[in-house]
Structure 1
Amino acid sequence: MRFCIIPVTSYRQNCSLLICEQSNKAAIVDPGGDIDAIIKTINKENVSPESILITHGHLDHVGATAELAALLSVPVIGPHRDDQFLIDAIPEQCKAFRFPACDSFTPSRWLNQGDIVKVGAEVLDVFHCPGHTPGHVVYVHRNTKLAIVGDVLFKGSIGRTDLPKGNFNTLINSIKNNLWPLGEQFSFISGHGPMSTFGEEMRSNPFVGV
């Protein structure tokens, strides 16, 4: 499996395109906005989108979801149902944060700890990692040792926990109990900023170093 990272919105949120090289099928992770840029990357890579995967319900990660799902006729998968309150509030959040108007949506499938999702022939394991939001999930591709962690973990930092229903201790437990056991070799794509590895964050991250 290969991937492309597409920074979108004024928050420079990392929308990711996950591509199964065997089937040429793709999943779009966290389409927060800038649909033209997402479509341009899809066309450039010459892939066939088959789903939209959501890590959590914050506006900069989901703003373009409803429109893009309708445009491409693909299902929306994730996050965990505990983020429904955030998705339901998308229209109001657009006004509050001066985003372009966006519609809320209902995922075709909510996700839970231990679920799997497929991108073509590739399999992603799902980890429920609350703390930044209560319904945040992480997608893990074991074969390439890649995790798409949304706003759970960043290079040198962690997700905010001062937003509605965030919880610092819960977030720390999510990282240490779900992510660190996967191993130091895993690289990860965050919701914002550069990639890193679990090993590097274990050694140097001031919030969750071991």
Structure 2
Amino acid sequence: MKWRQLPLGPLQTNCYIFSNNEKECLVIDPGGDAKKLTNILQQQHLKPIAILLTHAHFDHIGAVDDIRTEWNIPVYVHKNEKDWLPNPSLNGSQFFMAGAVKVSEADELIKSEGILTIGNFSLMVYETPGHSPGSVSFYSEEAGLVFSGDALFAGSIGRTDLPGGNHELLIKSIHEKLLVLPEDTLVLSGHGPETSIEAEMERNPFLNGF
């Protein structure tokens, strides 16, 4: 398994391309710059088979419809945010200067935690709410990594001042769902550089009381 990080869109949100040896890939959080993302996928001769959303804030969904249409693939989002994609007041775009972001509804709803199998990909879905009600993290034991969305960052955590945010719930999610993963697990966040579970356990000031 291979992964590539691409900062896209108005907030340079990390989109991830997670690919296998057959050149199939999952596109995680395509936040914008659809043409750039499409060109990279085509240049690498990759075949997207699904779009996964860690949550439905505007800066994570801006290129969803373009990529979905180009490859005719399904979009997955947690059921708690099924109405957010077409609604600027829910996805947060109306509160920022990026203009209203409206995306067609998801094709598949993530209804609970568990193994999500798409083609030859198998990911464990963890519900990690707090930044938003439907935030999820996707863990690949095989690749030793977790796509944490905006729950956990290198040295920081997600903001909780947007609609549906809950600081106490976010801290609980991180401790109970992410910090229990193997310490060498690579954390691929929605913004900023990659980190590891071990590094955040030891040095994240929001989690260790320093």
Distance 2:44 2:116 in 1: 22
Distance 1:106 1:146, change over 3 A: same
Cα deviation 1:151-173 (Å, max 9, x = unaligned): 00000000001110100010001
Secondary structure class of the residue paired with 1:37: helix
> Identity percentage over the alignment?
32
Which consecutive unaligned segments of at least 5 residues does structure 1 have?
none
Say if 2:82 and 2:106, in contact at 8 Å, map to a contact too: no
1:72 Cα offset (Å) = 1.8
TM-score normalised according to structure 2 size: 0.92
1:192 aligned to 2:185? no
1:119 Cα offset (Å) = 4.8
After superposition, residues 112-151 of structure 1 pair within 5 angstroms as 112-151=111-150
Distance 1:145 1:114, change over 3 A: same
**CA RMSD, Structure 1 to Structure 2 (Å):** 1.9
The equivalent of 2:87 in structure 1 is 89
Q: Partner amino acid for 1:202?
A: M
The equivalent of 2:155 in structure 1 is 156
The equivalent of 1:61 in structure 2 is 60
1:183 aligned to 2:186? no
Say if 1:112 and 1:126, in contact at 8 Å, map to a contact too: no
TM-score normalised according to structure 1 size: 0.92
Distance 1:95 1:67, change over 3 A: farther
Secondary structure class of the residue paired with 2:37: helix
Q: Partner amino acid for 1:89?
A: N
Secondary structure class of the residue paired with 2:180: helix
Say if 1:52 and 1:69, in contact at 8 Å, map to a contact too: yes
Q: Which deviates the most, 86-95 or 117-126?
A: 86-95
Which consecutive unaligned segments of at least 5 residues does structure 2 have?
none
Secondary structure class of the residue paired with 1:207: helix
Q: Partner amino acid for 2:165?
A: G
How many correspondences in the alignment? 208
Which stretches of structure 1, 4 residues or more, deviate above 6 A after TM superposition? none
Distance 2:205 2:177 in 1: 18
- Structure with greater contact order relative to length (CA < 8 Å, sep ≥ 6): 1
Q: Which deviates the most, 85-94 or 167-176?
A: 85-94
1:20 Cα offset (Å) = 1.4
Distance 1:95 1:125, change over 3 A: same
Distance 1:209 1:112 in 2: 31
The equivalent of 1:111 in structure 2 is 110
Secondary structure class of the residue paired with 1:182: coil
Q: Partner amino acid for 2:200?
A: E
Distance 1:90 1:115, change over 3 A: farther
Say if 1:18 and 1:119, in contact at 8 Å, map to a contact too: no
